[in-house]
């Protein structure tokens, strides 16, 4: 049992450090988009979901309205509620305060580490260690990245404006192993590219969410046949 817990702690710390340093990219991207250091830090403290944070700053950087940016971020963050349904019985949270803290920690990485563990006890250990490690590292590096970028007179001159989109792509890329997910991603990109010249910044991102219909309408048999080719 202790070996399982030690393994969970090791996994959680390793994932936490590896993912947490990406906060540097978010801090730099937020400063380049025009957010203050305080605003970038508040986003990391309370939003705490990398893909949503990058999506929001991307819309702001493009001159888009806040409402489409927030809506797009919420759509991306909605997947965490699905993780919560899967983890609810496993974590067995008690008091209201503990549930609130646990809810904040339901992200891709903490879910993956928790579900990987062989026992319920080690799953809970892995979840909370990963959450704590990512949260601390992400917020510290967000601050460092935002402060560093804000000290540069023109951050865009160093190409920092591409840090956000590049990191966003790096976050999503490992999730595109399935053919159906690649279909959804391709349709979403096509919708966004086709509508960007005609719509305000941020709105194409929302319309791109319609690409999930391509995933729903493609049957598993169709996907498997495509993979065979």
Cβ(131)–Cβ(107) below 8 Å: yes
Q: How far is CA 66 from CA 41, 58, 69, 150, 203, in A?
A: 18, 11, 5, 21, 11
Contacts of 138 (CB under 8 A, 6+ apart): 19, 20, 22, 23, 26, 44, 48, 50
Angle at 215 between CA 212 and CA 216, to 5 degrees: 90
pTM of the model: 0.69
25 by Cβ neighbours in 10 Å (0-12 / 13-18 / 19+) ranks as buried
Angle at 63 between CA 161 and CA 65, to 5 degrees: 130
Tens digits of residue pLDDT in 26-51: 898 888 888 999 999 999 999 888 87
pLDDT (tens place) for every residue of the chain, 229 residues total: 678 888 899 988 988 888 888 888 889 888 888 899 999 999 999 988 887 888 788 778 777 677 777 777 777 777 788 788 888 888 876 778 888 888 889 988 898 889 888 888 899 999 999 999 999 999 999 999 999 888 875 655 555 555 555 655 665 666 666 777 777 778 878 887 888 788 766 567 667 767 666 555 554 444 343 443 3
Domain ranges of the chain: 2-160, 177-229
């Amino acid at each position: 049992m202790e070996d399982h817990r030690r393994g969970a702690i090791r996994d959680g710390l390793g994932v936490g450090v590896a993912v947490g340093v990406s906060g540097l990219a978010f801090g730099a991207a937020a400063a380049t988009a025009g957010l203050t250091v305080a605003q970038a830090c508040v986003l990391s403290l309370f939003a705490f979901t990398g893909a949503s944070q990058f999506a929001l700053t991307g819309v702001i950087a493009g001159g888009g309205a806040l409402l489409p940016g927030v809506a797009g971020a919420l759509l991306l963050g909605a997947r965490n509620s699905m993780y919560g349904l899967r983890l609810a019985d496993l974590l067995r949270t008690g008091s209201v305060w503990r549930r609130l803290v646990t809810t904040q920690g339901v992200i891709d990485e903490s879910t993956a580490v928790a579900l990987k563990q062989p026992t319920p006890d080690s799953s809970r250990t892995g979840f909370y260690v990963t959450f704590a490690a990512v949260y601390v590292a992400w917020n510290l590096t967000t601050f460092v990245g935002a402060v560093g970028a804000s000290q540069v007179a023109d951050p865009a001159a160093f190409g920092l404006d591409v840090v956000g989109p590049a990191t966003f792509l790096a976050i999503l890329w490992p999730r595109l192993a399935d053919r159906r997910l690649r279909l959804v991603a391709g349709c979403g990109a096509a919708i966004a590219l086709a509508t960007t010249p005609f719509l305000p910044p941020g709105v194409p991102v929302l319309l791109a969410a319609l690409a999930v219909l391509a995933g729903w309408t493609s049957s598993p048999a169709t996907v498997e046949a495509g993979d065979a080719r």
